[in-house]
Structure 1
């Protein structure tokens, strides 16, 4: 049985409740929903049954580990985007800390979105995300950069300036490859803390225009340390998120990453943002459709069906 968008939320919720143990049904009917539809169904389900569908899906006992994993993924899909990122951030802060997941949040979200993530994090976990990042021990370069980016989302100007971009590009060059040795962490973190992501993107584009190569190409120097590696990752995500997300998906599907949650994290978080563009980049860079890569790399079953459903998702509302 499947339901259509013409059905009332109440009837849909009753069918979901009836088929909670049927992973195939849940995939067919939940994976295709838009964020607004998920919100309506989650609210209606709570009104009818007094329980949160997110928690129900996350705690549903399934016959196999694969089905349980799929239900957990469906549960994350039903979260609103801010809750989802708050949960991702909390999980990322569990040892070993997943800095890449945190970098994605602070470089690939609008400032208004980041502020809502901070609120959702506090509401859900009764903690401050900024403080949890600040408490990371031992202190490390990613921590400093993440704190700078968090500050930038709270205090930056919404306008972008070519003049500021040119000044920042020259300053980065002067305190980086314009002198011998590694880059100056204080200068980089100061710039990151005071500018918007859009302003940073213009700065790195201006750097390329002035000096004839990207800032990240300079950071490839093998003698550099962890701070330069962290800045390079952050810069890549700021300059071209779809390219970095496509690379992340590819390494997940090829089994060459230690970031085990990245596949679901990226597919869910980018579904209504830029997943179409990510798939275009994926095809151009790796010579295959994302859907085909999923079929080739993920064993047949509920989990693969869920990933394919996300990759072929069409939004009608």
Structure 2
């Protein structure tokens, strides 16, 4: 309990916000802070900021489990949160996410991905990545990277017609995230451009488009997240859930690096963009504070 209050006090520097936290603390009266924030009829601060606070106070793997579950909640599956989990988390962390998901929701994350409707190429690639995480590879091999890079070229831009899905899925299911990153780096060294660029070839269809997004998340995550944040704030269809998701998940990891890329690409500070894009003052202040955390 005290650790939770410490996290909030260290994070949020505004005197006005601190006073509101003191109101929350008094209302909590020694109880479970996270459970209190989940109560839908509690209105001192409003449900939006309560949702953000309760999500932030979860352990990282529990937070990711909730994020994964939310991807299935609105009818049409939002695959980006799932991509970010399977591409951006260590295998040991993915295992904890799956356990938390099963404990919280009485379902299996990978089975929910398999059962998602309508069928999507994202499903096939994500299940391949899930298989890779289960094998817990640790070492990387330059020889394997060269072989896989040549196979990817031979089954993609190096041949006419659509990309061969079976070859891609085999590589993704058998290689660790670190090995895949080395393969994409080797691909660029051999062929002079990113593998993601080769996937723009006409005829690759939905599978090629899905694969390109996943490769960007794997190989150039800072650019990927900066683009997601910009689209969530400035895009034609603003997606505030994507803003919350990325800021929450990357705050302790590489948020300052993402912010630097954001400024370089879009010519403005990330915190200024958040201030422009979020109308709720309390949520805005909290997200700006998260986005300002220095990576450890």
Normalising by structure 1, what TM-score? 0.82
Aligned pair partner of 2:112 in 132, 140, 146:
132
Partner of 1:265: 245
The alignment status of 1:67 with 2:60, answered yes or no, reads no
Q: Is 1:78 aligned with 2:71?
A: no
Which residue of 17, 23, 27 corresponds with 1:24? 17
Question: Who is 1:98 aligned against?
Answer: 78
User: Which runs of no fewer than 5 residues in structure 2 stay unpaired?
Assistant: 10-15
Tell me, in whole angstroms, the C-alpha distance in 1 between the residues paired with 2:4 and 2:130: 42
- Change in 2 beyond 3 A, CA 1:10/1:172: closer
Higher relative contact order structure (alpha carbons within 8 Å, sequence separation ≥ 6): 1
Residue 221 of structure 2 is matched in structure 1 by 241
Q: CA 1:298–1:176 in structure 2 vs 1: closer, same or farther (change >3 Å)?
A: same
1:179 to 159, 171, 193: 159
Cα distance in 2 between the residues matched to 1:297 and 1:138: 32
Q: What does residue 89 of structure 2 align with?
A: 109
Question: What is aligned with 1:9?
Answer: 2
| Distance change (3 Å), C-alpha of 1:106 and 1:27 | farther
Aligned length: 284
Distance in 2 (alpha carbons) for counterparts of 1:295 and 1:166:
45
Match of 1:58 in 2: 38
Partner of 2:177: 197
Distance in 2 (alpha carbons) for counterparts of 1:193 and 1:253: 34
In 2, the alpha carbon distance for the partners of 1:314 and 1:59 equals 31
* CA displacement, residues 84-132 of structure 1 (integer Å, 9 cap, x when unaligned): 1101111102221001111011001111111111111111111111111
Q: CA deviation at 1:215?
A: 1.1
Range 136-145 or range 203-212, more displaced: 136-145
After TM superposition, the structure 1 stretch with the greater mean CA deviation from structure 2, 282-291 or 140-149, is 282-291
* Normalised TM-score (structure 2): 0.87
Cα deviation 1:213-247 (Å, max 9, x = unaligned): 11111111244311001100000000011111111
Q: How does 1:152-191 map to 2 (within 5 A)?
A: 152-191=132-171
Alpha-carbon distance, 1:178 to partner: 1.3
Tell me how large the CA RMSD over aligned residues is.
2.8
What is the rounded CA distance, in whole Å, between the counterparts of 1:170 and 1:192 in structure 2?
14
2:273 corresponds to: 293
Q: What is the SS of the residue equivalent to 1:261?
A: helix
Which sections of structure 1, spanning at least 5 residues, go unmatched?
1-7, 17-22, 30-40
Contact 1:165-1:203 at 8 Å conserved across structures = yes
1:189 & 1:26 partners in 2: Cα distance?
53
1:62-97, Cα deviation, whole Å (9 max, x unpaired): 559x93111101110011110011011111022210
How far the C-alpha of 1:273 sits from its partner, in A, is 0.8
Q: Secondary structure at the match of 2:46?
A: helix
TM-superposed deviation, 1:60: 4.8
Task: Say if 2:256 and 2:294, in contact at 8 Å, map to a contact too.
Answer: no
Q: Deviations over 1:8-47 (max 9, x none)?
A: 929959xx9xxxxxx9337768xxxxxxxxxxx9xxx89x
Deviations 1:230-279 (A, max 9, x none): 10000000001111111111111114346441111111111111111111
